[in-house]
Amino acid sequence: MSSQGMNDQGTPAGLFSAEAPDAPFTLGQARVLVVDDNRVNRHLLLALLERGGVRQVEEAEDGNDGLARLDSFKPDLVLLDLMMPHLDGFEMCRRMRADPRWKGLPVLVQSSLNRAEDRARAFAAGATDYVTKPINAVELVARVRIHLQKRALLRDLEQYHTRARRELAQARRMQEKLMPGPARLAELRSTLGIAIDSHFAPSSELGGDFWGIQRLPDGRTGVYLVDFSGHGVGAALNTFRLHAICQQLAPACGDPEDFLAAVNTRLCALLPSGQFATMLTGIVDTEAGVFDYASAGSTAPMVWAPGETEPRLGDGTGLPLGLLASMRYERRSLPLPPGGRLFLYSDAAIEIQQGCDVLDECGLAALVGRHMAQAEGARFLEGVLEDLRAAGPIDDDLTALVLTRLS
């Protein structure tokens, strides 16, 4: 967390605006509103607070007066008497709690009402804490300090949370843009006769998965699916790096195994120890009717032709990217005739827990088999995802991609 990042939040005037969020808490900047109908009491409290180090204090003489001052004074804490004319402390407290702006404001009740029922009533009205008169100076200042400190910490946390959420949402939109959008997919469909339907669901705001498709200079179509180790922000940052590398290298690499080896060499120089990526990349060769691919520890690709009832599994074996710079990969091939389909997915789909084992590739293949007859790629994917969710909780990034050869 940087202090600069917090200052553009438009914090209201008061305890928090002047300080960096990690600056030590000081009572001197706290604003306390004293609400009491008795002038002598008010002056006594004011003197106690001042002696305790609280310098910004405003007085109000009943509940109405107190409520009226909230907006302009913006207190960090209200020191509230209960028995007052016009509008008493109970009602003032209730009204503050009903207003979202003052819902979290610490209200320290100071009252001569001393019975358990009175305390219970005050807490029911929304009081934060309670001290009884005669006031003990040390106790009063100690409680004021505790509540102010707690509020300062909570504010910090809330601001941090709001900022983190906003930034993650923005990063999420950027990450989604790494993958081809509807316009690009429509273009591929009309020019290449290849339809792609996809699903991308990070387990937190950001994920370590992405996929891409690239038209090669010779007219063939390259497709790839990447899954970084781990998930969350670290893995997501890696997807941006790898995306840039893929964009740069893909047009120059005609063969999937060369592409994978080139990407691996680049990643080895970038990734710290313990981080790696699995990747499957392949080329749809419509003339030969095959999918030529290479895999770096990816899940097994699945293909099927129209009319078939179970998918054919490819082989995902291979050392993941980023571990050994000199690694060479193997080219493998699967049939992909006109009307045929290719199904790629991240490992979340085969790591769903089933008793003390996991769904695994065979389990997924059986599940895919139930939806293979579905003519629409999007409907097929929906059906598979629904079954996966029914199979158990998915606690990793899940990306799935179905490619259909239209002709």
Tell me which amino acid residue 108 is.
L
The span from the CA of 141 to the CA of 133, in Å, is 14
Stretch that binds another protein, among 52-60, 74-82, 302-310, 345-353 (CB under 8 A): 345-353
Judged by CB under 8 A, the stretch of 22-30, 97-105, 267-275, 364-372 that binds another protein is: 267-275
The reply to whether 227 sits near another protein by the rule CB under 8 A is yes
Rounded to an integer, what distance in angstroms lies between the CA atom of residue 34 and that of residue 93? 13
Please report whether residue 396 would count as binding another protein according to CB under 8 A. yes
For 186-213, b where at least 16 C-beta lie within 10 A, e where not — what string? Answer: eebeeebebbbbbbbebbebbbbbbbbb
- Out of 358, 374, 392, 394, the residue judged to bind another protein by CB under 8 A: 358
Binding residues among 54-83 for another protein as defined by CB under 8 A: none
Question: Which amino acid, one-letter code, is at 392?
Answer: G
Q: Which is nearer to another protein, 231 or 371 (CB)?
A: 231
Is residue 229 a contact point for another protein (CB under 8 A)?
Answer: yes
Cα gap 58→378, rounded to integer Å: 64
Residue pair 388/367 in contact (Cβ under 8 Å)? The answer is yes
Q: Which stretch binds another protein (CB under 8 A): 175-183, 305-313, 334-342, 347-355?
A: 347-355
Q: Would you give the binding string for another protein spanning residues 28-57, x where CB under 8 A is met?
A: ------------------------------
Residues 130, 259, 276, 343: which binds another protein (CB under 8 A)? 276
Contact (CB, 8 A) for 56 and 29: yes
SS (H, E, C) 134-179: CCCHHHHHHHHHHHHHHHHHHHHHHHHHHHHHHHHHHHHHHHHCCC
> Which residue's CB is nearer to another protein, number 285 or number 351?
351
Give the nearest distance from C-beta 316 to another protein in angstroms. 6
Please give the residues from 360 up to 389 whose contact with another protein meets the rule CB under 8 A: 360
Q: How far is the CB of 271 from another protein (least distance, A)?
A: 10
By CB under 8 A, residue 270 contacts another protein: no
Nearer CB in complex with another protein: 288/327: 327
> Residue 233 burial (CB < 10 Å; 0-12/13-18/19+)?
middle
Question: Distance between terminal CA atoms of the chain?
Answer: 54
Query: Looking at 256, 347, 371, 402, which residue binds another protein (CB under 8 A)?
Result: 347
> For another protein, which residue of 357, 375, 393, 407 counts as binding (CB under 8 A)?
357
> What is the residue-wise DSSP string for 262-321?
HHHHHHHHHPPTT--EEEEEEEEETTTTEEEEEEES-PPPEEE-TT-SSPEE----SPPB
Neighbouring C-alpha atoms within 13 Å toward the C-beta of 197: 18
**Structure tokens belonging to residue 132:** 């009884």
Nearer Cβ to another protein, position 29 or 295? 295
Q: Which region among 129-137, 223-231, 256-264, 370-378 touches another protein (by CB under 8 A)?
A: 223-231
- Tell me which residues in 286-305 interact with another protein (CB under 8 A): 297
Q: Is 323 in the site for another protein (CB under 8 A)?
A: yes
β-bridge mates for residue 200, sequence order: 399
Q: Least distance in Å: CB of 137 to another protein?
A: 45
Contact present, 53 and 10 (Cβ < 8 Å): no
Answer yes or no whether residue 316 interacts with another protein by CB under 8 A.
Answer: yes
C-beta of 389: minimal distance to another protein in Å? 18
Helices of type H across 195-286: 233-249, 256-270
Using CB under 8 A, list all residues that contact another protein. 227-231, 273-276, 278, 297, 316-320, 323-324, 327, 347, 351, 353, 356-358, 360, 396
